[in-house]
Structure 1
Amino acid sequence: MVPRAADRLLIVVSILEGRYFPKRPKYMLIVEAKFDGEQLATDPVEHTDQPEFATELAWELDRKALHQHRLQRTPIKLQCFALDPVSSAKENIGYIVLDLRAVQEKKQTPKWYPLLSNKYTKFKSEIQVGVVLETDTKALVDGFKAKEAPPREGRVSAFLSGLDPKSIVPVLIEEEGYHQIGPAECCRDYFVLSVTIAFATQLEQLVPSTMKLPERQPEFFFYYSLLGNDVTNETFTDLINPNFEPERASVRIRSTADVLQVYLCAQSKLQIHLCCGDQSLGSTEIPLSGLLKKGSTEIDQHPVTIEGAFVLVPPNRAKQKMPQLPLDMAPTVGVSVVLQKETLNVQPLQPLIPLNAPTEPKQPQKKVLSPVSGKTEGLQQTSKDVPSQNDHSSPTEDEATESEVESLKFEKGTNLKKTTDAAPVAASQSNPVGASSSSEPVSAQKIVIPAASHHFCFSIDLRSIRGLEVGFPINCILRYSYPFFGSAAPIMTSPPTEIRKNMEVFLPQSYCAFDFATTPHQLQDTFFRLPLLVELWHKDKTTKDMLLGIARLQLSNVLASEKTRFLGGNGEQCWRQTFNETVSVTAAQGSGNRIAELSYAITLEDYGLVKMHEVLVSDSSQCVGAGQQRHAPHTQPPCVPENQPEPRETLEYKAALELEMWKEMQEDIFENQLKKKEMAHMQALAEEWKKRDREREALVKKKVAEYTVLEEQLQKTLRDLDKRERHLFSAESELQRVKKELQAEHERNKQELQDSVRRAREECAHQIELERSKIKQMEEDKLRLQQQLYEAENKHKILEKEFQQYKEQQSSKPEIQLQSEINLLTLEKVELERKLESATKSKLHYKQQWARALKELARLKQREQESAMARLKKQQQELEHMRLRYLAAEEKELGKTDRQELEDIRNELNRLKQQEEERKQLQDVRDNSAGRVDSPHSRKLNENMDDYLSRLIEERDTLLRTGVYNHEDHIVSELDRQIREAIAKRNTTR
């Protein structure tokens, strides 16, 4: 019975985000969900503390199957892995088990689930997951299509008879290294599906001037999904000349031809996107249904393939307003899809050289892959009718060489593999001058060399290795390859050379020379863009060869060296450039430290232009010389009689031969002129194209800058909003927690308050009863005390009356009066005795003070006399000195004014002496008359005043004697004022 479409359901598991994870910058996080044997996974995200997965995973089933799973309690297991992008190793962190019985059809709030068996023991890692049941709307639209498969016999027929092609899902068997398509019991054959992206053209048409790219220096790449595995090729930056190596992605499949044919028909198309960052610039769809035809056994005999140049279409042509372009101007990508049985030992078809070479002769041939990844050219394959710069050449006469086929040979793998195949030049190591080293046998073919190419010879000599910093001696082998020189086969030095630490070893058989033809522009572009990588290998007989380090040789250095001229073999002028250098060999694994130094020498020789001619490559890898331009079949000349002359010896034959040679020479000259004109026109077109491309790039950069600013603002706004939302969420959770705590505290306080109120009421009631009993008792005591008080007052009145009567009786007796008088006299006596005692003590104290004062007075008088005598002696000495100075000044100046001043000074001194003597006499008289009662202090003050006065007079006279000052100067007038005040004060004291 066919289930109804309405019964089809989807179990949708939303893996939103995580929290409490440790930060691991070099790792990615991925979550794999497994249900009912089918496994789905999220995209890898950064391993941060809060990873954001934002992924929905869904499984299809009907209600009956859902009921069975619920009865059997089938779990949904989510496993979290830490992915190392370098080694692709997955590290199991923990898992989550979801119960299918709790899943409902209505949407529920996502929950946080802790990781079980968490590897990060110090972190409580959690993932937010939501699970919901949804109706399968796709099933409602498409319906059930299993009836289209005709019934077949056997298990495969039984499986296909009731199968929806869209329900066939490849399951990765990781242990065995393959994808299983179909039931395990039916899958018995192994297949290999390979997808190769070889070249692309006209990609600039996908970026109109109105479109803005997300980066300042954008990187472009092709992206497609192969059996659920995301595949990207090598990034490139130039849309005009896309430069990337052809890359093949292969996946191993276990299935049967019939199931695989049904699956490919259901998948219908392979989508390939040209991306810049996370933006798709254009896409193309390759139908896969044509690989296998129903009932066909073609896959058993040889691989089946789909290849060609497919047009890239923008995501929204109407929105971008991209005009419809002709096929030769439309953006295209060269893709080859190959499916073969793994048991076949047949090599794949020659892929993409030419890319869409017809599997049948009737199909048109349009494109040829340019040698060396479509950009760097050695000896190019081209026809005489098309110039060498054109990427679209007719391959009617040109076929892929064996080296090209080998460079794209299939390699067996256990899982999805991504290999880089560098397409070598068309003629492997073949050139018009001579055969180069290490060329492989190829089938006889003709190669047309364009006239604009130069014949170059590049030689490299790896001389020595020194400064080894490895802890053990190594058997050194150097290995390198440079497909631009004509072969992708590696060049190795032999035999292995033993190298030890702190020694320099010269390498044997390390010289190699390459002869090739290319344009100088291509040579310069390749040398600047692609360095030569020399690998240092350690070869051991007992263990596997080990790669120790890599040295980068920048070949563009030889172009900057000095050119030297030399003559070639035919006498033509040639140029040689040589460059020597020592470079570091960095470790292949680890931090990239230096482990050795490599000395090398490279030489580039330019032999000049190569004429347009064809080179025939024989089965023995030999080349025809440059002088041979035409290949005629070798025929046996007819037999002629001996007496007749040879036909080639006749004059007519010689004239015809000379004419033919002249015609060929003129044709060559004419072709060279056409080539020069064509080169000039192509250069002018290229300059104009570059000019327009620069304008467009400037506009693109401007728009990119604007978008970058807007994107930064938007990201900042988003971060602010996210931060604000988290802050609000934390604040809300904090508010809820505080609210719960406050509510609990309120309930607790309310209960405590009710208990306290109840206790207070009980205590108050008890206290009221006690107070009432106390009041009753106090009232009884009051009545009793009032009664006692009344009785005591009556007794007091009676006693008071009795005492009054007794007092009156006693006052009338004489003994009482005498006793009162005696008491008064006794008090007066005591008071007089106290006064007498105090007077006696005061008298004694005054006597002691008087004696002490007399002693102090005598001591002060003696001290004053001694000081007076000392001052007098000092004044006499000073007067004597002044007299001597005055005498000396008088002898020198002999002026009347000075003499008069000196006389005045003498008079003043005499007067002072007289006053001093009178003062002493007066003092003595006063001392004698007053019984030496005068205070020595006043005498001391007078002596100090005299000393001060004499000092002022001496200072004034000294200033006047210098002749600098006179009586009108301020300082002299100030001294006179002080002298007058001192004299007045002294007179008043006396």
Structure 2
Amino acid sequence: MVSRAADRLLIVVSILEGRYFPKRAKRMLIVEAKFDGEQLATDPVEHTDQPEFATELAWELDRKALHQHRLQRTPIKLQCFALDPVTSTKENIGYIVLDLRAVQEKKQTPKWYPLLSNKYTKFKSELQVGVVLETDTKAVVDGFKAKEAPPREGKVSTLLSGLDPKSIVAVLNEEEGYHQIGPAEYCRDYFVLSVTIAFATQLEQLVPSTMKLPERQPEFFFYYSLLGNDVTNEPFTDLINPNFEPERASVRIRSTTDVLQVYLCAQSKLQIHLCCGDQSLGSTEIPLSGLLKKGNAEIDQCPVAIEGAFILVPPNRAKQKLPQLPLDMAPTVGVSVVLQKESLCAQPFIPLNAATEPEHPQKKVLSPTRRKTEVLEQRYQIVPSHTDQSSPTEDEATESEMEGLKSDKGTKLNKKAENAPAAVSQSSPVGASSSSEPASAQKIVIPAASHHFCFSIDLQSIRGLEVGFPINCILRYSYPFFGSAAPIMTNPPVEIRKNTEVFLPQSYCAFDFATTPHQLQDTFFRLPLLVELWHKDKIAKDLLLGIARLQLSNVLGLEKTRFLGANGEQCWRQTYNETISVTAAQRSSNRIAELSYAITLEDYGLVKVHEVLVSDSSQCVGAGQQQHIPHPQPHAPEIQPEPRETLEYKAALELEMWKEIQEDIFENQLKKKEMAHMQALAEEWKKRDKEREALVKKKVAEYAVLEEQLQKTLRDLDKRERQLFSAESELQRVKKELQAEYERNMQELQDSVRRAKEECAHQVELERSKIRQLEEDKLRLQQQLYEAENKYKILEKEFQQYKEQQSWKPEIRLQSEINLLTLEKVELERKLESATKSKLHYKQQWARALKELARLKQREQENAMARLKKQQQELEHMRLRYLAAEEKELGKTDRQELEDIRNELNRLKQQEERKQLQDARENSAGRVDSLHSRKLNENMDDYLSRLIEERDTLLRTGVYNHEDHI
């Protein structure tokens, strides 16, 4: 198992930054990478001239698959898009193709790649990209863990390939409180799907002039169906300024990522209707198919969401002839659809069919989301829910899934949390439940002296890291004054190395709360905001590295800028930017990094005395429907008296006059105390002034000694500096010489390359000219050959005609007979010459045969004499060995055998001689007959001389002598 894991690799593509891009204010940049059918994308960044992505994208594969991809030359394609955050449309800018064969396992320096098919023709846009192969350490570590094996991807993909998307339905499990999507054996993960209706604008345009509304005050509400559960929000009466509390409806789902993705694609869209009674005034459709993409692993680390302002369309648009309006003028509803794994939730989940009465009253607390992304021209405001499960003193922050849009000059998607921590005193309760309200609802009373504040914190970047190893950075902080003790963290972790600056993702957080300016100022001066720097390790425990202290009171001393709020009221804003040091957790004096941040305080003015009802639709929604508990609508009296004549106004006037008198008394007492303190301080100052003079004299003597030491140290430093300067000058000289030599060598190399190229070009040109000349010669010769063939055919035809004409003449016939006889004569002469040659050949062969026969005879005689001697020796030995009586008999026998052998040898010799003589006679006779037949007219003397010559030849061989018959 470990060896298989060791073969798992990661292809990591680091998209660092870009350059030479044009600046586009209302656009964002995003890079999508596609490899082997799987697509990954970076987070959207600002469309500036030098965008910083700082993102790593990785694909898993084994070495065998990597080898196969390299053989097939599978590319990695990076496409750069310009994203419109309002309409979510993407504009293709260009692309880059990376070669997988050049990727190595050792880290390489990132390269700048120009964008191909660049839309910005006047700009040479480039991206800095690094590609490296890494061992999948997660797979190696997981190889040692004994855990339940999930279903294999092959089985899940086989199941999905054979499964009809329309047949996947959500089945409610009432006992465990979840909806199951897909087969039970593959459903191992739990998800939470939440829908939040946060705000609505321009709803009056949806009511046609022909529609009759109820005579009493009409109530409007939003309706949608979530996995078969009918959900409506709290009714409201004002269409021009709809005022309703954002509500969240959540369902628990048991499924897998792949099956859920297929199910969401099949469901296609979520329809939300604006209703008045049983009539729909308008609706909008939110596509759910983009919530989960195929192969999307983002949901394992963080929630995925679809959020924004969606245009409401009347049910019969053609009849009403509603004109097309821009987004800021059209009727819209702000909706957030969030899907996340249940393990990522920050609070215990309350299912749809859970009990509607919690054990303890709810509190309105902060649970912001850390994110900083320039997307919309509105600002999201989150109103989360909070449940106290253990005791009334414990607070547990829930995940902020309810978001509202709030118009502002800025262009940041700022997820904010409302809170109301301020009461008359710290010990007084924040809010109490009313007996007229249901147990699940809770009211928060805000005093009239409080101001509505919005405080935002943006942790921008970290640089100057002084730690000896790269860290996975997470920043964490909490400020209970804002209404929650729950920690707020940046997510996901970002890697920081030495000498680099890293911008933090999702680090913007805004807080809405009500308190008095005096209490705000006192708290900001007393309590700094402590930001903790944590190193998140995948294997070991998280490590606290350092702490940064943000003094929030700095923002109070800055100049206030005025702006108009959503309802036209006058508001004030103060903004403060700073870079502070992050000190080590163990040694507070050691600086380990620098943190850049920006804080903003917005004052929206006085808050009127009202009660805020906190509701969470997830606590009062049944398995099949949702119940609603409307706010009691107070009835105003029919006759209202003058404001200055009311008892409340008179009591407030008396209270203000008493406050002014008390302030004057307090100021007089304060001045008396100040004079007494100033006199005591003057006496103490004189006493301590003498002590300081003595201390100064002592310090002056010490400083004189230190100054002398410093002078000596300065002289030594001056000497070392001169030495260092001479060494640097020598180094510069050597560097210049090496640079000059390098340039000279490079110039020579370039000259040689240029000459080689010119020579090669000249050779190529010569070869091309030779080829052209040869082709011309070839054509010319082919033409000549064609003409010669035609001429030959003509001459052959003429010669054939001439032969036919001459064949009938007698001279020609005689000439042909003469030619035939001449041929016969030549043939006979050739045969005669061949016979003569044969005679000489046979004569030579006969002489060689005679010599060979003589040798054989001599060898046979020698062998016979050797055998005879050997036999005689053997007989001699036998004669010595045997008795005298047998000696005589054996001697006779041996003599008889010897006699037989001698006779046999003589007989063989005679036969051989007769055979040779016979052969010689036959040969001689044959030759004589042939010569005689051929040369009958020759002279007899020639014949006799030939016979004499042959006799002498036979005698010279040594086989015959003069006594032989021949």
TM-score bracket for this pair, using the shorter chain length: under 0.3
1:933 partner SS: helix
8 Å CA contact 1:94–1:115 kept in 2: the answer is yes
Cα separation, partners in 2 of 1:381 and 1:37, compared to 1, 3 Å: closer
8 Å CA contact 1:455–1:606 kept in 2: the answer is yes
Is there any run of 5+ residues in structure 1 with no aligned partner, and where?
345-349, 971-990
Query: 1:80: how far off?
Result: 1.2
Cα separation, partners in 2 of 1:239 and 1:897, compared to 1, 3 Å: farther
8 Å CA contact 1:573–1:607 kept in 2: the answer is yes
Q: 1:96-142 CA deviation, whole Å, 9 max, x = no partner?
A: 12222332334455444332221012333333433222222333233
Query: 1:66: how far off?
Result: 1.5
Query: 1:78: how far off?
Result: 0.3
8 Å CA contact 2:83–2:90 kept in 1: the answer is yes
Is there any run of 5+ residues in structure 2 with no aligned partner, and where?
none
Query: 1:887: how far off?
Result: 231
8 Å CA contact 2:376–2:413 kept in 1: the answer is no
Number of the residue aligned with 1:714 = 710
Question: Which range moves more in the overlay, 205-214 or 953-962?
Answer: 953-962
Number of the residue aligned with 1:333 = 333
8 Å CA contact 1:193–1:252 kept in 2: the answer is yes
Query: 1:9: how far off?
Result: 0.9
Query: 1:90: how far off?
Result: 3.4
Distance between the aligned counterparts of 1:455 and 1:556, measured in 2? 18
Q: 1:36-95 CA deviation, whole Å, 9 max, x = no partner?
A: 333333455554545454543322211122233334433211011234567655322101
Question: Which range moves more in the overlay, 830-839 or 350-359?
Answer: 830-839
Cα separation, partners in 2 of 1:727 and 1:118, compared to 1, 3 Å: farther
Cα separation, partners in 2 of 1:377 and 1:486, compared to 1, 3 Å: farther
Cα separation, partners in 2 of 1:64 and 1:84, compared to 1, 3 Å: same
8 Å CA contact 2:368–2:382 kept in 1: the answer is no
Cα separation, partners in 2 of 1:118 and 1:216, compared to 1, 3 Å: farther
Question: Which range moves more in the overlay, 452-461 or 186-195?
Answer: 452-461
8 Å CA contact 2:365–2:384 kept in 1: the answer is no
Query: 1:256: how far off?
Result: 3.6
8 Å CA contact 1:429–1:437 kept in 2: the answer is no
Distance between the aligned counterparts of 1:582 and 1:670, measured in 2? 41
Cα separation, partners in 2 of 1:449 and 1:8, compared to 1, 3 Å: closer
Question: Which range moves more in the overlay, 313-322 or 390-399?
Answer: 313-322
Question: Which range moves more in the overlay, 312-321 or 843-852?
Answer: 843-852
Q: 1:945-968 CA deviation, whole Å, 9 max, x = no partner?
A: 999999999999999999999999
Cα separation, partners in 2 of 1:827 and 1:43, compared to 1, 3 Å: closer
Question: Which range moves more in the overlay, 214-223 or 51-60?
Answer: 214-223
8 Å CA contact 1:464–1:507 kept in 2: the answer is yes
8 Å CA contact 1:355–1:367 kept in 2: the answer is no
Query: 1:33: how far off?
Result: 1.3
Q: 1:818-852 CA deviation, whole Å, 9 max, x = no partner?
A: 99999999999999999999999999999999999
Distance between the aligned counterparts of 2:70 and 2:820, measured in 1? 129
2:400 partner SS: helix
Question: Which range moves more in the overlay, 799-808 or 693-702?
Answer: 799-808
Q: CA RMSD in A?
A: 38.8
Question: Which range moves more in the overlay, 403-412 or 942-951?
Answer: 942-951
Q: Does 2:937 match 1:942? A: yes
Distance between the aligned counterparts of 2:606 and 2:856, measured in 1? 137
Question: Which range moves more in the overlay, 754-763 or 64-73?
Answer: 754-763
8 Å CA contact 1:538–1:546 kept in 2: the answer is yes
8 Å CA contact 2:14–2:131 kept in 1: the answer is yes
8 Å CA contact 1:308–1:355 kept in 2: the answer is no
Distance between the aligned counterparts of 1:277 and 1:435, measured in 2? 32
Structure whose alpha-carbon radius of gyration is higher: 1
8 Å CA contact 1:616–1:624 kept in 2: the answer is no
1:362 partner SS: coil
Distance between the aligned counterparts of 1:948 and 1:203, measured in 2? 152
| TM-score, scaled relative to structure 1 | 0.27
Cα separation, partners in 2 of 1:515 and 1:34, compared to 1, 3 Å: closer
Distance between the aligned counterparts of 1:575 and 1:753, measured in 2? 69
8 Å CA contact 1:864–1:940 kept in 2: the answer is no
Distance between the aligned counterparts of 1:505 and 1:359, measured in 2? 46
Cα separation, partners in 2 of 1:586 and 1:368, compared to 1, 3 Å: closer
Cα separation, partners in 2 of 1:939 and 1:313, compared to 1, 3 Å: same
Distance between the aligned counterparts of 1:175 and 1:784, measured in 2? 100
8 Å CA contact 1:82–1:91 kept in 2: the answer is yes
Distance between the aligned counterparts of 2:397 and 2:19, measured in 1? 56
Distance between the aligned counterparts of 1:296 and 1:39, measured in 2? 8
8 Å CA contact 1:455–1:607 kept in 2: the answer is yes
Cα separation, partners in 2 of 1:691 and 1:483, compared to 1, 3 Å: farther
Cα separation, partners in 2 of 1:667 and 1:159, compared to 1, 3 Å: farther
Q: 1:548-599 CA deviation, whole Å, 9 max, x = no partner?
A: 9999999999999999999999999999999999999999999999999999
Distance between the aligned counterparts of 1:73 and 1:807, measured in 2? 75
Distance between the aligned counterparts of 1:184 and 1:625, measured in 2? 24
Distance between the aligned counterparts of 2:925 and 2:802, measured in 1? 75
Q: Indicate the structure whose relative CO is greater, using CA pairs within 8 Å and at least 6 residues apart.
A: 2
Query: 1:8: how far off?
Result: 1.0
Question: Which range moves more in the overlay, 443-452 or 608-617?
Answer: 608-617
8 Å CA contact 1:398–1:446 kept in 2: the answer is no
Distance between the aligned counterparts of 1:458 and 1:19, measured in 2? 35
Q: How does 1:696-845 map to 2 (within 5 A)?
A: none
Q: Does 2:420 match 1:423? A: yes
8 Å CA contact 1:26–1:84 kept in 2: the answer is yes
Cα separation, partners in 2 of 1:547 and 1:16, compared to 1, 3 Å: closer
Cα separation, partners in 2 of 1:316 and 1:135, compared to 1, 3 Å: farther
Query: 1:515: how far off?
Result: 22
1:935 partner SS: helix
8 Å CA contact 2:525–2:552 kept in 1: the answer is yes
1:146 partner SS: coil
Distance between the aligned counterparts of 1:700 and 1:786, measured in 2? 118
8 Å CA contact 1:115–1:126 kept in 2: the answer is yes
1:517 partner SS: strand
Query: 1:32: how far off?
Result: 2.0
Q: 1:446-478 CA deviation, whole Å, 9 max, x = no partner?
A: 998999999999999999999999999999999
Distance between the aligned counterparts of 2:509 and 2:834, measured in 1? 142
1:931 partner SS: helix
8 Å CA contact 1:535–1:547 kept in 2: the answer is yes
Number of the residue aligned with 1:983 = none
8 Å CA contact 1:532–1:555 kept in 2: the answer is yes
Q: How does 1:571-650 map to 2 (within 5 A)?
A: none
Query: 1:383: how far off?
Result: 32
Query: 1:5: how far off?
Result: 1.7
Question: Which range moves more in the overlay, 504-513 or 437-446?
Answer: 504-513
8 Å CA contact 2:450–2:517 kept in 1: the answer is yes
| TM-score, scaled relative to structure 2 | 0.27
2:419 partner SS: coil
8 Å CA contact 2:448–2:609 kept in 1: the answer is yes
Distance between the aligned counterparts of 1:131 and 1:795, measured in 2? 75
1:452 partner SS: coil
Distance between the aligned counterparts of 1:100 and 1:838, measured in 2? 84
8 Å CA contact 1:371–1:425 kept in 2: the answer is no
Distance between the aligned counterparts of 1:908 and 1:218, measured in 2? 158
Cα separation, partners in 2 of 1:425 and 1:86, compared to 1, 3 Å: farther
Number of the residue aligned with 2:924 = 929
Distance between the aligned counterparts of 1:462 and 1:115, measured in 2? 32
Cα separation, partners in 2 of 1:848 and 1:219, compared to 1, 3 Å: farther
Distance between the aligned counterparts of 1:669 and 1:479, measured in 2? 47
Distance between the aligned counterparts of 1:249 and 1:472, measured in 2? 45
1:673 partner SS: helix
Query: 1:622: how far off?
Result: 24
Q: Does 2:97 match 1:100? A: no
Distance between the aligned counterparts of 1:453 and 1:129, measured in 2? 53
Distance between the aligned counterparts of 2:71 and 2:892, measured in 1? 151
Q: How does 1:458-607 map to 2 (within 5 A)?
A: none
Query: 1:227: how far off?
Result: 22
8 Å CA contact 2:223–2:272 kept in 1: the answer is yes
Question: Which range moves more in the overlay, 314-323 or 952-961?
Answer: 952-961
8 Å CA contact 2:417–2:511 kept in 1: the answer is no
Cα separation, partners in 2 of 1:306 and 1:320, compared to 1, 3 Å: same
